Each structure stands twice: as C-alpha cells, then as structure tokens.
Amino acid sequence: MKSEEFNQKYSAFLEEGNYGLDIDILAVSRYLDEVFTGLIKIPGFQYSQIKSKFGSCRFYTNLYEILGNKLGAVISNEIEKRVTLLMEAHSDYLNYQEDPTTPEL
C-alpha cells in the first residue's frame, strides 16, 4: 500500500492538520500496517508524522502522553529502528539494481 492509502486507512487516528506517513516504501507501509493494528487499540492513540529525516525514521505520535515517557519511548524507538532498517534495505536494493557490475541472476 502507498503512504496515501495508509493515511486514508488510519485517517481516524491522524492528528488534524498533519500529513501522516510520508515514506513511500511498500515494506515500510506493510510493517506499519501490522504495527498499527495494535496501536489503534490504545485508547486515544493518534499519530501526526512518520517521515525520513537525515536518513532515518522519525515517528511522531502521542504515545508519550498516553503511556508515559519510558514506555512511549520504548515503542517509538523500536518502530523508528525497524523502519530505518527497512529504508536502508530498500536503498541498498535500489543501489544493487543500478550497479552495472552486478551480475544478472
């Protein structure tokens, strides 16, 4: 699913005036779709931005306010780490495809 479709699916949880997911990588939206099936069960959960900044993911939600700083940080940091890894893998894959020295499979 594209980021636009993701944001439409979870529009009820998108904070007003924010753009939501801004990373258009299929593996990222699939991963986040799985994660959000749990997050949306948290009463009052909302997200505002999920974006790439300086090559890594930034995940902005209200989890800190809802769950407290420690638990909010654990969840947010884990999601950011995993999305960043997916972004790096996607970039490596694209670079691999574009490398003229790469043997054909």
How many other C-beta atoms lie within 10 A of the C-beta of residue 79? Answer: 20
How does pLDDT run across 14-48, given as a tens digit for each residue?
999 999 999 999 999 999 999 999 999 999 999 99
Extract long-range pairs of 2-11: CB within 8 Å, 24+ residues apart.
2/29, 3/29, 5/29, 6/32, 6/33, 9/33, 10/36, 10/40, 10/47
How does pLDDT run across 80-98, given as a tens digit for each residue?
999 999 999 988 877 776 6
CA–CA separation, 44 vs 63, rounded Å?
Answer: 9
Q: Structure pTM?
A: 0.86
